[in-house]
Amino acid sequence: MTNATTYRVRRALSEAEMISITAAIDAATSAAGIVTAVLRAVFGALVAPLGETLDGYGPDRKLDPRDFAIPEQQWAAITEACLSRADAFGARVTIAMDLLNVLPATYDDPSAVVPPRSAVDHRPYEHVLTVSREAADVITACAQRCDALAQHFGEDSPEHRDAARSWQRNLALLFSMDFGARTRVTRDGDLSLLVSCGSGFTYALIFHPVQRRCTRDGCAAVIRGDGTTWTYRSGDPACADRQHIPAYPLDAPAPGSWSFHS
Ligand SMILES: [Zn+2]
């Protein structure tokens, strides 16, 4: 830990200061407003006893957050208040990133006061999810692929379990409000979706099929559904007799899993 003497201000915030900081955060009316509010409230409080105000800082005299330190648990409470307020704008993830380098440093002080706060759910009342009809078909096709894998490889096969688990996890993410309360889902491929969130964040849920490789020793061939083969590079070794053994049958549904791409 950095030596305490290097900080301009290193102290616990008072209970009144903590209450006024969290009130300022709760009053923010946009995601960007949260960052502005917390910076003004925290550093305004910290520089006040120095006889300064934030008006004295600007492009010519920058305020360095690392010149200040507050107790760890007060830092955590302020951060949590920001993340909770960010739920109102579906901005929890972006606010977490934004706060990384702008808050004061921390130090250990078990006696510092953290006023109790009632848990408030800042999320909008409902999540409005718009699904294009093509995307609705993709969602049906994804569920069907999981069923087909269970049928072909068995309910307890890794092929079925990997696909079903990844599909469930990503479907739950689609319904969650982590990225906002207004979400648009469109098609991004036979088994893939594009998701545009109210917060401006966009991500894709993409199905990655397991390639049907040849399992014979020393063969690098990948086998297509029609039985034809290819290799990544033209000189790669492949079975000279062309009697490839596919990792899974030609008529089987391709196993694979869905993953999140931002
Ligand atoms: Zn082969």
Domain assignment present for 66: yes
- Residue 221, domain member (yes or no): yes
In the reported structure, the alpha carbon of residue 217 is separated from the centroid of ligand 1 by a whole-number distance in angstroms of 8
241 Cα–ligand 1 center, Å: 8
Say whether both 49 and 96 belong to one domain: yes
Q: Which of 198, 222, 195, 221 is nearest to 206 (CA)?
A: 195
Do 237 and 257 belong to one domain? Answer: no
**Do both 78 and 17 map to the same domain?**
yes
The answer to whether residue 200 sits within a structural domain is: yes
Predicted local distance difference test score (pLDDT) of residue 5: 58
C-beta of residue 94 within 8 angstroms of C-beta of residue 201:
yes
229, 257: one domain: no
Residue 256 CA to ligand 1 center (angstroms) comes to 21
Q: How far is CA 33 from CA 21, 76, 98, 155, 182, in A?
A: 13, 19, 12, 50, 20
Separation of CA 105 and ligand 1 centre (Å): 59
* pLDDT of 95: 93
pLDDT value of position 211: 93
Give me the residues near ligand 1 (ion), CB cutoff below 5 Å.
214, 216, 219, 221, 239, 244
Cα of 257 vs centre of ligand 1, distance in Å, is 24
Same domain, 13 and 94: yes
pLDDT at 134: 98
How close is the Cα of 216 to the center of ligand 1, in Å? 5
Residues 161 and 177 in one domain: yes
- Whether residue 22 is found in the same domain as residue 41: yes
**Same domain? 62 vs 100:** yes
Separation of CA 74 and ligand 1 centre (Å): 62
Residues of the chain with pLDDT under 70: 1-5
Rounded to the nearest 5°, which phi and psi values hold at 48?
Answer: -55, -45
Q: Is position 160 within any domain?
A: yes
- Would 225 be classed as within a structural domain? yes
Residue 114 in any domain: the answer is no
Is residue 113 domain-resident? no
Distance from residue 221's CA to the centre of ligand 1 (Å)? 6
Query: Does residue 203 sit in the same domain as residue 88?
Result: no
Distance from C-alpha of 27 to C-alpha of 39, rounded to nearest angstrom? 14
CA 249 – ligand 1 centroid, Å: 14
Q: How far apart are the CA of 228 and the centre of ligand 1, in A?
A: 11
Distance of CA 206 from the midpoint of ligand 1 (Å): 28
Same domain, yes or no: 257 and 133: yes
Question: What is the domain count for the chain?
Answer: 3
118: in domain = no
CA of residue 163 to ligand 1 center, whole Å: 26
Give the pLDDT confidence score for residue 119 in this predicted structure.
81
Distance 210 CA to ligand 1 centre (A): 16
Q: Are residues 146 and 257 in the same domain?
A: yes
Looking at 76, 107, 138, the residue that finishes a domain is 107
92: containing domain: 9-107
Tell me the CA–centroid distance for residue 244 and ligand 1, in Å.
4
- For position 58, what pLDDT does the model report? 85
Alpha-helix runs per DSSP H in 87-217: 92-99, 133-153, 158-175
CA of 245 to the centre of ligand 1 (A): 6
Pair 15, 93 in one domain: yes
**C-alpha 157 to ligand 1 mean position (Å):** 24
pLDDT digits (tens, 9 = 90+) for 46-99: 999 999 999 888 888 889 999 999 999 999 999 999 999 999 999 988 899 999
Q: Beta strand 9-10 with 68-71: parallel, antiparallel or unpaired?
A: parallel
**What pLDDT, on a 0 to 100 scale, did the predictor assign at position 229?**
92
